[in-house]
């Protein structure tokens, strides 16, 4: 049985990669499909796992708008699945590729598996358009694989309950641990030397990533001013900031940070380079969802540069602080943590709430059960019950305990 794994962006590729071996071990044939949304970055991400796409779609992108991308993806996917019909299609997260894949598979009568289901900010405007995308995918999925108990509770609040909702943990943890263990060479020029400098204790590293559309414009300027202030205030701090490819974003970064010492603005980093930088950082400042899941595996606190987050598990566990984009708040919080190693250590006391590195195994077991090659439904995470939908602005909650299925 072929199971198609659909990836259009680097995070999708990273989180789907651990499924390849897990599905193969269970007698299923994984087929990696690159949608063409970000083709180069998907290939680079898969290469970190010694993988490559089995099928690559060719789509034309002129305006870069979401409508254009969706209109191109649906017929391309439909043609692929008429030529090579899978037993199931796995979509990950909340991108336009995810939405297009889920709709096209559903229209074709192919079971849709939603990896990383149930994340909710409960605000359709943030993150945009991701919150709307993942809600729509939840309407057509045949199998929901929420990463945490909180995500399962979100699905339950929307009426999605029963045996086809299985908590797995997040495959981001599987992926980041696997790549870190390989200790791959650094590709970004000059980065290896900087990381050696950090290893020896001569400098401290702040990894900064900002790419959310809702942050473009003045919110991004506030973040960049905070980064500039932190570097000027703390003379042993180095910053690595992989810049978004959008020309307007690049212009903002250049206007605020050009000429500031000890700030290294790079192209989007290859995944192994990003992992290596993350692993030795003192703090990570990011609006990325994936980094909120990955950094706790290295006991690195995350300052979340967003007004809302759909990953409140990290906030509840203490390993992330939801700061928004206020310049003074970012500077004051980061400075306090830079000055207090005990406070940083206390943030990481509960470990990573997103899993133990076995999410891909649980997901593959669930897919095998869906397709009838495994008779018993696999076990999921321990459940504490759902008192209310998971909030995005600091509602009370507790870390999720992970058990092996």
Catalytic residues, by residue number, are 94, 116, 130, 211, 213, 244
Distance in angstroms (rounded) separating the CA atoms of residues 396 and 370: 34
DSSP letters spanning 306-328? SS--S-HHHHHHTSEEE-TT-HH
Cα pseudo-dihedral 380, 386, 389, 395, rounded to 10: -100
Question: What is the chain's Cα-based Rg?
Answer: 20
Q: Is the dihedral of CA 61, 66, 68, 70 positive or negative?
A: positive
Tokens of 315: 């906030």
Distance in angstroms (rounded) separating the CA atoms of residues 124 and 343: 34
Provide the 10 A C-beta neighbour count for residue 340: 11
Distance in angstroms (rounded) separating the CA atoms of residues 315 and 319: 6
Distance in angstroms (rounded) separating the CA atoms of residues 154 and 397: 13
Q: Are β-strands 283-286 and 204-209 bridged in parallel, bridged antiparallel, or unpaired?
A: parallel
Distance in angstroms (rounded) separating the CA atoms of residues 266 and 109: 43
Distance in angstroms (rounded) separating the CA atoms of residues 56 and 179: 24
Strand order in the sheet with 29-34: 55-56, 29-34, 2-7, 88-92, 112-115, 143-145
Tokens of 384: 């504490």
110 and 298 in contact (C-beta within 8 Å)? no
Q: Is 348 exposed, middle or buried (0-12, 13-18, 19+ CB in 10 A)?
A: middle
Provide the 10 A C-beta neighbour count for residue 221: 17
Q: What are the backbone dihedrals phi and psi of residue 212, each rounded to the nearest 5 degrees, phi first?
A: -65, 135
């Amino acid at each position: 049985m072929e199971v198609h794994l659909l990836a259009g962006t680097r995070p999708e590729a990273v989180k789907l990669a651990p499924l390849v071996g897990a599905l193969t071990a269970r007698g299923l044939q994984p087929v990696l499909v690159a949608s063409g949304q970000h083709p180069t970055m998907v290939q680079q991400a898969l290469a970190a796992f010694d993988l490559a796409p089995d099928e690559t779609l060719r789509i034309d992108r002129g305006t870069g708008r979401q409508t254009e991308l969706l209109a191109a993806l649906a017929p391309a996917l439909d043609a692929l699945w008429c030529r090579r019909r899978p037993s199931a299609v796995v979509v990950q997260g909340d991108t336009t590729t995810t939405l297009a894949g889920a709709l096209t598979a559903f229209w074709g009568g192919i079971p849709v598996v939603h990896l990383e289901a149930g994340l909710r900010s409960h605000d359709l405007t943030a993150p945009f358009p991701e919150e709307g995308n993942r809600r729509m995918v939840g309407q057509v999925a045949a199998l929901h694989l929420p990463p945490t108990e909180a995500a399962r509770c979100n699905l339950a609040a929307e009426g999605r309950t029963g045996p086809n909702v299985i908590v797995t943990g997040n495959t981001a943890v599987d992926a980041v641990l696997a790549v870190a263990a390989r200790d791959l060479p650094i590709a970004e020029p000059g980065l290896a030397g900087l990381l050696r400098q950090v290893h020896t204790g001569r400098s401290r590293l702040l990894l900064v990533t900002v790419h959310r559309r809702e942050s473009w414009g003045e919110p991004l300027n506030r973040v960049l001013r905070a980064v500039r202030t932190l570097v000027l205030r703390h003379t042993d701090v180095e910053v690595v900031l992989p810049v978004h490819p959008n020309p307007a974003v690049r212009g903002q970064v250049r206007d605020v940070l050009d000429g500031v010492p000890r700030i290294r603005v790079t192209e989007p980093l290859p995944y192994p380079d990003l992992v290596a930088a993350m692993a030795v950082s003192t703090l990570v400042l990011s609006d990325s969802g994936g980094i909120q899941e990955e950094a706790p595996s290295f006991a690195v606190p995350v300052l979340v540069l967003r007004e809302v987050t759909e990953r409140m598990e990290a906030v509840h566990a203490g390993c992330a602080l939801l700061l928004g984009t206020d310049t003074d708040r970012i500077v004051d919080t980061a400075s306090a943590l830079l000055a207090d190693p005990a406070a940083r250590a206390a943030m990481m006391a509960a470990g990573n709430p997103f899993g133990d590195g076995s999410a891909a195994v649980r997901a593959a077991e669930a897919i095998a059960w869906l397709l009838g090659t495994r008779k018993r439904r696999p076990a999921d995470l321990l459940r504490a019950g759902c008192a209310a939908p998971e909030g995005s602005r600091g509602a009370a909650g507790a870390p999720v305990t992970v058990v092996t299925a």
